[in-house]
Structure 1
Amino acid sequence: MIIVWGAIEASEQNLAELLALSLAHVRRSRLEPGCIQHSVQIDAENPHRIVFYEEWQDTAALQTHFAVPASNDFVRQLRALCQTTPEMKIYRAEPVEM
């Protein structure tokens, strides 16, 4: 499984627009093949920080997601509106049996 974590900082003026864009992106992405989970949250300690969490079946599914034109449009719009440089980390993960 591939895990993607990301975060952006929004200004007060752009927060509502960034949240709307983010929710539309998350809802669209959930329908893509190989998407296990895709979510967006507001940081409880910083209400201007928007955090993304994604789980993908494999690298191929994530690469396909990155190639979707709507995903590229979302990234362009996001970068134009966010207050800071977006953060993104990608991890390969395996479930741990306890």
Structure 2
Amino acid sequence: MKQDTTERSERSFSSLDDIRSYKEELREQIRQDRDVISTKWNDLFHREEPAPQNKAQKIMKVLSMGTGVLDGAMLGWKLYRKYQEGAFLFGKRRRK
């Protein structure tokens, strides 16, 4: 795919058609590189998880998601209670 710099410098153009053909070659190389990059990007970041195949896997997926939501809600509640009424932002201290 890649060309040496010496090969690029030795190329000579005698007409506009030569330039057009070279331009089309470069466009095709760019398209191929873009396809390779997008394929690798999608393989790396957009992997699809396999769907649960049986009832036990479905239940485990629901339980896992449910515990994640519950954990997030508990964390939010704890942070709210700790930093309520701007105590964290404005330096007020809670009285016990």
TM-score interval, smaller chain: under 0.3
Q: Give the structure-1-normalised TM-score.
A: 0.22
The structure in which a higher percent of residues are strand is 1
| Greater relative contact order (Cα < 8 A, sep 6+) | 1
Larger Cα-atom Rg: 2
